[in-house]
Amino acid sequence: MSNVITKFTRSVPAWKPRVTPVSLDSATPEQLDALQVTPSNTKVSDYVLTLAHDVEVLKVRSPLFNGIMYDKGGMSRAERELSALAASMVNHCIYCAAVHADRHAQLEKDTAVTDALFTNGAKADLGPRDRAIFDFAYALAQTPPVADETHVQAVRDAGLDEAEILDLILSSALFGWANRLMHVLGDPVRKNG
């Protein structure tokens, strides 16, 4: 398929499922409830409709995702996005990488970090705190994970406290999950392509 995107980009692609998503017309009440479909809200993405095939997991997944990426305290929003991006680069999940690079750039009001990562890869020149966060998240995303004491020491030296390091771990690990859905169940494609 010629319009499948294979290179990292901050321009968020469309997502084309490799399986047939649940159809709203034939969805069960439990699926409709999990999809939060109401008469005034009938717009549901193909991705969420695909995940609705496993509705019990879909129901528990959204609060968990939102908690890890948005709950107050701990590591900053932008740094959680950087951690998510590191995992998505390991797993070559073009779609997740685009979404979270874009959010990072918006939160930072600066594209420098994500430009550098997409141009030069994981070894791009980053500031010391971003470098330590990215390296820990990247090592943890390998299979099996290769994160070790040196990564923990590096983020401590960069000034992260325990609550921040916990958020780093959670956001990288979460994208071990998300990437295995997004990258496995569909293709990132050009919008209107």
Partner 1 sequence: MTSTLTNLLGPTTGAVTTALDGRASIVAATQGAENAVLTPRETGAWSHDLRHALAARIAAQHDEPDAAEHYRSKINDSTLANLADPQNDGSDQGLAHVCAFMDRVAQQTRDVNAQDIKDLQSAGVSDADIVRLCELNAFLAYQLRVLAGLRLLGGKA
- The residues binding partner 1 (CB under 8 A) are 1, 18-20, 50-51, 53-57, 59-61, 63-64, 67-68, 71, 73-74, 90-93, 140-141, 143-145, 147-149, 151-152, 161-163, 165-170, 172-174, 176-181, 183-185, 187
Residue number with CB closer to partner 1 (105 or 188) = 188
Residue 193 to residue 190: CA distance in whole angstroms? 5
Shorter beta-carbon distance to partner 1: residue 111 or 129: 129
Which is closer to partner 1, CB of 131 or CB of 176? 176
b (16+ CB within 10 A) / e for 103-142? bbbeebeeeebbeebbeeeeebebeebbbbbbbbbbbbbe
With b for 16 or more beta-carbon neighbours within 10 A and e for fewer, the 160-179 pattern comes to beeebbebbbbbbbbbbebb
Taking the complex as a whole, the smallest distance from the CB of residue 117 to partner 1 amounts, in Å, to 16
Residue placing its CB nearer to partner 1 in the complex, 108 or 138: 138
Residue 107 C-beta: closest distance to partner 1, Å? 21
Peptide bond into 144 cis (omega under 30): yes
